[in-house]
Amino acid sequence: MNKKLLLAAAGMFTVAGLFAQKTTAKKAAPKGKEIYTQYCLSCHQPDGDGVPNLNPPLINTSYVLGDKTKLITWVLKGTTEKVEIDGQTYSNNMPPQNFLTDEQLASVLTYIRSNFGNKASAISAADVKAVRATVK
């Protein structure tokens, strides 16, 4: 085989390798959408519009757009109570999401507050940490 061609092929592999490394490094950072897909989507649905009478939507609700502390507390604790949200009751339970790290919760909450038509400020890992310290 032509030596030049071989060198060119080797060069291409190196570039491909660098790309692969870059993608992995990026993936290691917690991403809101991925966390949502893994832990929230089954109940709250891909577009955050929920399931009638079972799981509430995450679109423009007072919880999602409102006070950060209330939202963080809610998601850390979950609930087994029937809760009325904007005039509808939902009979499913929400399991506590406290197994997620501060960074993961910050990412997923920031994701829901800035998607599905929502526009609310970001939530930081420090916000989650502070609330977690007060939640039993």
Give the interface with ligand HEC as residue ranges (CB under 6 A).
39-40, 42-44, 55-58, 61, 63-64, 71, 74-75, 79, 81-83, 85, 90, 92-95, 97, 108, 112
Q: State which residue, 17 or 52, has the beta carbon closest to ligand HEC.
A: 52
**Shortest distance, position 114 Cβ to ligand HEC, whole Å:** 13
Q: State which residue, 21 or 80, has the beta carbon closest to ligand HEC.
A: 80
Residue pair 92/78 in contact by the 8 Å Cβ criterion: no
**Rounded distance between C-alpha atoms, residue 39 and residue 23, angstroms:** 22
Q: State which residue, 73 or 130, has the beta carbon closest to ligand HEC.
A: 73
Question: Coil, strand or helix: which one is 53?
Answer: coil
How many residues in total does the chain contain? 136
**Shortest distance, position 116 Cβ to ligand HEC, whole Å:** 11
Question: Coil, strand or helix: which one is 128?
Answer: helix
**Residue 14 dihedral angles phi and psi, to the nearest 5°:** -60, -45
